Structure 1
Amino acid sequence: MNSHKNARLTFEGRKLLIERIAVMGLIPAAEAAGISQRTACKWRKRFAMLGHEGLIDRSSRPARTRTTVDAELMQRIERLRRKRMPMRRIAQVVGRSVATISRVLAQLGLSSLNAIDPKEPVVRYEHEAPGDLLHMDMKKLGRIAMPGHRVTGNPRNHTRGVGWEVAHVAIDDHSRVGFVQMYPNEQRPSVVAFLEAAVAHYEALGVTIKRLITDNGPAYRSKVFARACQALGIKHTFTRPYRPQTNGKAERFIQTCLREWAYGRIWATSQERTAWLPAFLAYYNARRPHSALGYKPPASRLGGNNLLQINT
């Protein structure tokens, strides 16, 4: 209860007032408390209706307030908002203040334009066995010739024209066992070479790749890559255009690689970064807990004991 500094009655004072009214009567008790007879009558009435809870301060906000927005106007405001009209523009169209429109939109749950378009439900899937589906993707990384100005703090320490290199990544849908190799580009020969290396890597772990999913990149759409998939007995499917969520496991694996390996520490050169890649993959596959696997490492999803193969 928040009483102002000049309040004649607090909660305890009101209880004392009720006790005095019972003993002395209404008028003497009001005079003793230094309040009017009307105020004392008010607190006696509240106590009679609600007991001691009636002696607690109530909000000064009125129970009912007059509004100039009727049901028809509220529906009009909602229609304009669902057409993605800005709040100030709606106020001009309907002839009300911006504050009124803001209050109405808050009541309708349309304060944010994001609320107009309902979010699509998250669809999660997982294939039953290792090798049933392999996710592939790639990520361009800037080459490192020397520690840059963001590391040293010296703006003169920067290199130009060093170029890029590409991390080609693959991750098994069921086990989440990942595989990464570095290539100089993202062209068709590199993509085909990585596919063959990935299939051989998973075969060494006792996993036969049956199906592959990639995005719609030119190299993945090429006839050379299609022939390579056919020769390996792999069914190749593509993600929906502009829908990276379809290949979400590969996208998430890339973010983990960037955070914990590629940009996880300061590298002197690109060669040093690449040299640490096998150690990172061994840690990721054999020891790092994965939230989607009940915080067990991906190797726990593979049949048999594949820790030796994973750590090599």
Structure 2
Amino acid sequence: MCHLRTSRKLGPARIGPILGMPASTVHRVLTRHGLGRLAFLDRPTGQVIRRFERNRPGELVHVDVKKLGRIPDGGGHKVLGPQAGRATRSSMGFDYVHSAVDDHTRLAYSEVHGDEKAATCAAFLDRAATFFQNVGIDRIERVLTDNAWPYRKNFAWRDALARLGATGKLTRAYRPPTNGKVERFHRALADEWAYTRPYTSNDERTAALPDFLHTYNHHRSHTALNGQPPITRVNNAPGQYT
């Protein structure tokens, strides 16, 4: 049963008939073995993704970049319809949303930029550290990123880490779940900010980002934090309940 789950990624409704068992029984057994949801598996290898959480704020910060298509003035396909939207967005290019998420608290900080070059990534890390300091996380100890070129053997990124007194760490190759907390934040960012409503311009969408971040950090309940917002995990955070 577990082999079918990990090797073929089958669910209880398909495993049950193969083994001659009710799907409800298959579900209980898979859950008992930590295989109740496919999201718990690394799809290419079938290995269980081991969830972890650092013990204190600032011990580890996850950093990543999400690419979004820019919105033309007047709106894209959500405002103008599919045909008109495709015509206006064809040469708009992309925004690059740089994000940093603290592992212990899930506090998040994001900025929108026109590229993901090394200098941009390094300057973003400086400002992210200032954000975390302002909410009560005085020091970043380690920064986890993927293996993109700006984070590997790059002097600008190394200098930014040195200014913070932090150590850089790269995810394992082809294992994006290693940086899963910022990946999960980017899904929330897409659902609740980038695509939540039909913006009429790229500037309008960018201007809405600070409000989303404040809501996410101070008011939005987080399932991994027993329904509490991330700011509640920071000791003596200023403006905690604003």
For the superposition of Structure 1 and Structure 2, which TM-score range results when normalised by the shorter chain? 0.7 to 0.9
User: Per-residue deviation at 1:121?
Assistant: 2.1
For 2:239, the equivalent position in structure 1 comes to 307
SS in 2 for 1:155: helix
Residue 204 of structure 1, CA deviation: 1.1
Partner SS, residue 162 of structure 2? helix
Q: Deviations over 1:69-124 (max 9, x none)?
A: xxxxxxxxxxxxxxx9xxxxxxxxxxxxxxxxxxxx93499xxxx9xx98322301
Alpha-carbon distance, 1:307 to partner? 2.8
- The one-letter amino acid paired with 1:148 is G
Whether 1:255 and 2:187 are equivalent positions in the alignment is yes
TM-score, scaled to structure 2: 0.77
Does residue 161 (structure 1) correspond to residue 91 (structure 2)? The answer is yes
> Which residue is 2:63 aligned to?
136
Q: Is the 8 A contact 1:299 1:306 kept in 2?
A: no
Structure 1 counterpart of 2:117: 187
Q: State the one-letter code of the partner of 1:214.
A: T
CA contact under 8 A between 1:299 and 1:307: conserved in structure 2? no
Indicate the SS of the match to 2:168: strand
User: Cα offset for 1:224?
Assistant: 1.9
1:106 matches 2:18: yes
TM superposition shift of 1:165? 1.2
* Percent sequence identity over aligned pairs: 37
Partner of 1:243: 175
| Corresponding residue number in structure 2 for 1:223 | 155
Measured in 1, the distance between the counterparts of 2:48 and 2:203 equals 43
For CA contacts below 8 A with separation 6 or more, give which structure has more relative contact order: 2
* RMSD over equivalenced CA pairs, Å: 2.4
Alpha-carbon offset, residue 150 of structure 1:
4.1
2:110 equivalent to 1:176? no
Please tell me whether Structure 1 or Structure 2 has the larger radius of gyration of its CA atoms.
1
Letter aligned with residue 172 of structure 1 = D
Which structure 1 residue ranges, 5 or more long, are not aligned?
A: 1-83, 85-104
Q: Which runs of 4+ in 1 moved over 2 A?
A: 105-109, 148-154, 305-308
> Number of matched residues?
202
Alignment check: 8 A CA contact 1:143 1:162 kept: yes
Give 1:217's aligned amino acid. A
Q: What is the alpha-carbon distance in structure 1 between the residues aligned to residue 155 and residue 49 of structure 2? A: 33
Cα separation, partners in 2 of 1:164 and 1:108, compared to 1, 3 Å: same
The within-5 A match list for 1:108-127 is 119-127=46-54
The alpha carbon displacement at 1:143 in A equals 1.0
Could you tell me how far apart the structure 2 residues matched to 1:118 and 1:247 are? 17
User: 1:20 aligns to what?
Assistant: none
Aligned to 1:293: 225
**Shift in alpha-carbon separation, 1:225–1:270, aligned structure 2, 3 A:** same
Inter-partner Cα distance in structure 2 for 1:290 and 1:203 = 22
Structure 2, unaligned runs of 5 or more: 1-6, 8-16, 22-37, 39-43
Q: Take 2:228 and 2:78, find their aligned partners in 1: how far apart are those partners?
A: 36
Structure 2 counterparts to residues 201-216 of structure 1, below 5 A: 201-207=131-137, 208-216=139-147
**Deviations along 1:261-303, whole A, 9 cap, x unmatched?**
0111111111111111110001000000000000000010001
- 1:235/1:154 CA distance change after superposition, 3 Å: closer
Cα offset, 1:178, TM superposition: 0.4
